[in-house]
Amino acid sequence: MSARILVVDDIETNRCLLEARLSAEYFDVIEAEDGHKAIEAAREHNPDLILLDVMMPGIDGFETCRRLKADPALRHIPVVMVTALDQREDRIKGLEAGADEFLTKPVDDVALFARVRSLLRLKVVMDELRLRENAEALEKDADTLGGRIVVAAADEAGAQRIAAMYGDPFRAKACADPLNALRHALTADLVVIDLTHARFDGLRLAARIRSDVDTRQVPILGIVESDNRASMVRALDLGVTDVILRPVDPGELQARSRTQVRRKAYADALRDRLEESLEMAVTDALTGLHNRRYIVSRLRQHLDVLDRSGEGFAVALMDIDHFKRINDTFGHQAGDVVLKGFSDRLRKELRAVDIAGRYGGEEFLVLFTGATNEEALEGAERFRAAMARDPFVVPGTDEPINVTVSAGISAGERGDDVEDVVARADAALYEAKSSGRNQVIAWRKRAA
């Protein structure tokens, strides 16, 4: 599907010109001739990007941009303002109205497409995140701005000069050494890189920041020479988020930085929420262990690996002995404390590679990766003994509660379904229960 672009200009020839160039690049183009119609068209067609003329009768581009950005349904559409004059005041006014980018008339194709591509890439990521979340609730969080900025330049003095342009709420750190800059980027909200010195390979630094998993979310603002269009385009295509032209204007620097920092805070908040909800989908709320669905899916994976490569595993199905009696004697709250304490101990006893989940009410399943029957038996037995040794102290009850556990072990076998291996472990667990509890028994084929 091609990206849809809304072109807003009061002069028809301008619209046609842009339309022709964008269509030639297979963009889908919609047109509007004034601010009101632009907002209407944005609502109706949900464009991926808006190219917005500044000078228009009625409401001008700045006001149109402000209204677009004030509307929760529209504010995530990137807006590129198209100005007749490359005026510093206009740029700052536009940034303050919420514009994402600027292009100067007459619009240069190469610059146009570099900007459009860079903004569309960003929008795809943001849309993806927003799809899964209630975005509006997060915007307030995003407004509490960070503002840790790293300025990387060829020499200390040059970096300091840029860093000194920042005032509250920013804290800027000057770095002349790329490795040092990379280290500080780990905790930065924005990295500013001077791309104008032959001695300093700023693009390499930008590429490193983009490719490293720990820094790839950090926005980058590149400083480029105003007459070096090629370097601007290259920077944007390499993943620099925004560029500012030399000589750097402090007002514009701060306005552009603010936009980037706010966008990052918003994306971070979205990402955190998403991780949280993914976590909840695989975690049992009471015990913090994996839930049944997750543990079953891992079991299935390990059975696949076993079938393909012969790498084995074993499971232990565990059940707390006389759990109903604990609930009846001490109450459900005490029961919950025991379930939770049991899970904490289980987590502590296991190797990092083992996977434990709550399988049912007081039933737990542990997957011992790479383990034989005997090794799983040893692991489960160690845990059983630790449980029997240390009673639980439950707040609000006078006496410590003795809790024991029974477990049945079975190794996975080639050709097994999940049900097969769990059924064998369950049969062994039944044997452990019926022959006295507080013990671990491994399944074995009976002589017929």
Hey, which residues are catalytic here?
362
* Class of residue 175 by CB neighbours under 10 A (exposed 0-12, middle 13-18, buried 19+): buried
State whether the Cα torsion 385-389-395-398 is positive or negative: positive
Which lies closer to Mg ion via its Cβ, residue 84 or residue 393?
84
Cα(347)–Cα(355) distance, rounded to whole angstroms? 9
Q: In the complex, what is the shortest distance from the CB of residue 261 to Mg ion, in angstroms, rounded to a whole number? A: 31
Distance (Å, whole) CA 239 – CA 243: 11
Site residues (vs Mg ion, CB under 5 A): 10, 53, 55-56
Peptide bond into 169 cis (omega under 30): yes
206, containing H or E segment:
helix 202-211
Q: At what angle do helices 250-282 and 292-309 cross, to 10 degrees?
A: 80
DSSP type of residue 411? E
Least distance in angstroms from the C-beta of 34 to Mg ion: 10
Contact 80, 119 (CB under 8 A): yes
Structure tokens at 309: 């490569």
Please, what is the angle between helix 109-131 and helix 250-282, to 10°? 30
H-run or E-run covering 82: strand 79-83
The token duo for 384 is 């059983």
Q: Residue with CB nearest Mg ion? A: 55
Report in angstroms how near the CB of residue 53 gets to Mg ion at its nearest: 4
Closest to Mg ion by CB, 8 or 135: 8
Separation in Å, CA 374 to CA 14, 222, 314, 346, 356: 78, 60, 9, 19, 18
Closer CB to Mg ion, 21 or 292, in the complex: 21
Task: Report which of 296, 397, 408, 390 is spatially closest to residue 342, judged by C-alpha positions.
Answer: 390
CB of 251 to Mg ion, least distance (A): 24
For Mg ion, which is the closer residue by CB, 53 or 189?
Answer: 53
Minimum distance, C-beta of residue 202 to Mg ion, in the bound complex (Å):
36
Q: Which stretches within 350-417 are classed as H helix? A: 373-389
Name the residue nearer to Mg ion (CB basis): 10 or 201: 10
**Is the Cβ of residue 84 or residue 137 nearer to Mg ion in the bound state?**
84
- Please give the Cα distance from 116 to 112 (Å, whole number): 6
Query: Minimum Å distance from CB 19 to Mg ion?
Result: 15
Tokens of 131: 């799809």
- Residue number with CB closer to Mg ion (58 or 400): 58
